[in-house]
Copies of this chain bind each other. A is one copy, B any other.
Amino acid sequence: MAEFRKDPIVGQWVIVHTDNSWGPDRYAVEDHTPRDRATCQFCPGREHMTPPELDAVRSNGEHSGWKLRVVPNKFPALKIEGTIDARKSGLFDYSNGVGAHEVVIETPDHNKQLADLSLDEIKWVIDKYQSRLVDLTGDKRFKYIIIFKNYGDSAGATIEHSHTQIIALPMIPKYVVEELEGTRRYFEQNQRCVFCDMLAQESKDEDRIVIQNDEFVAFCPFVQRYPFETWILPKNHSSEFASLSDSGKINLAATLKNLLLKMRKCLHDPAYNFYLHVAPINYEGQQSFHWHIEFVPKLTNPSGFEWGTGFYTVRTAPHVAARFLREVN
């Protein structure tokens, strides 16, 4: 029989098939063979095809020797110039689409994905997540910065060269507001962080944990929206991704690489998204928040039920997904 389960943070319900959970082979496979190398605007030698570089990692100071680049998005969802200029048309609030939209090109190698990079190279990527976040925080127009990665067509990727996107927004987005409110409500009731309590329960229950090291744990949450959804949390309470130490970044790189390799092997190189939920910037009172990464392989297409209700139906129970992920090397 299926179970209803309720997320303790935002109050979302899901339907989890705890009996007859689907294994990895029940889901469709998407082909991710690289095709666009000949014209790729992110490849070395085509630096002129991106807007001017914002930041980079180089081995020797030479222009041709970059290991990683950060550039503005050539076709940004939002533009950095201008004022927000909020106004109203009858019922409707609207404003100018002011924001930042940047791209971290994670490697010069067109045929490598994030999972293929060395720990040092993944740490550089995380370094840039952090330094761009700090830099964009200096712009007082912005209230939230979302760092996210799309891999594969069905995850909404339009460029196959491995990259992450960063968008700075002049408002706190709905899902983050809901997480913040849920976290604050739980803190007021219990004087504890809901994510810390969730980690404690995951450690006790054990069967949904995928991997862990000194500083991070990756687990399939009891209330998943998608099969094989996995969250990465720092073990110790931390509201600030910006203050993550060097050793923290190495441990995070190791967790991320291990998870990416497990997902690739277990689910046949699935399309995926991941995003960081960090505390809002230029904002007071986020101490009860616990930053984290939500990793979602794209195995199914949401139906009218999901779109119309916000309910999710999950055909693989999280303890089953975690077991499959633990068992691959």
* A binding-site residues for B, Cβ under 8 Å: 1-6, 8, 11-13, 15, 77-79, 82, 84, 89-97, 144, 146, 148-150, 153-157, 165, 167, 169-171, 173-176, 178, 194, 197-198, 201, 204-205, 222-223, 273-277, 294, 296, 298, 300-311, 313
Contact = CB atoms under 8 A, between A and B. Distances in A.
Contact of A273 (B12, B223, B303): B303
Given A223-B92, A311-B169, A2 B303 contact: no
A6 B94 contact: yes
Contacts of A167: 305
B303 A92 contact: no
Given A77-B313, A273-B307, A308-B146, A6 B93 contact: yes
Given A96-B1, A223-B92, A309-B146, A153 B275 contact: no
B197 A91 contact: yes
Given A3-B97, A13-B174, A96-B1, A150 B296 contact: no
A307 to B, nearest CB: 5
A6 B94 CA distance: 6
Contacts of A298: 301
A198 to B, nearest CB: 6
Contact of A310 (B153, B157, B174): B174
B301 A275 contact: no
A94 B156 contact: no
B308 A175 contact: yes
11 contacts: A4-B84, A13-B171, A13-B173, A90-B205, A148-B307, A153-B301, A154-B301, A155-B303, A167-B305, A273-B308, A294-B307
Chain B CB count within 10 A is highest, among A8, A77, A307, A310, for A307
Given A157-B303, A275-B304, A304-B155, A1 B223 contact: no
A82 B1 CA distance: 10
A154 B104 CA distance: 29
B310 A15 contact: no
Contact of A97 (B2, B89, B144): B2
Contacts of A165: 304-305
B91 A2 contact: no
Chain B CB count within 10 A is highest, among A6, A309, A310, for A309
A4 B96 contact: yes
A28 to B, nearest CB: 9
Nearest to A300: B156
The 5 nearest A-B residue pairs measured at CB: A156-B303, A148-B304, A2-B97, A275-B308, A173-B309
B97 A275 contact: no
Given A2-B97, A89-B222, A148-B304, 7 more contacts: A1-B96, A2-B78, A4-B84, A92-B201, A148-B303, A156-B304, A275-B304
B304 A11 contact: no
B222 A302 contact: no
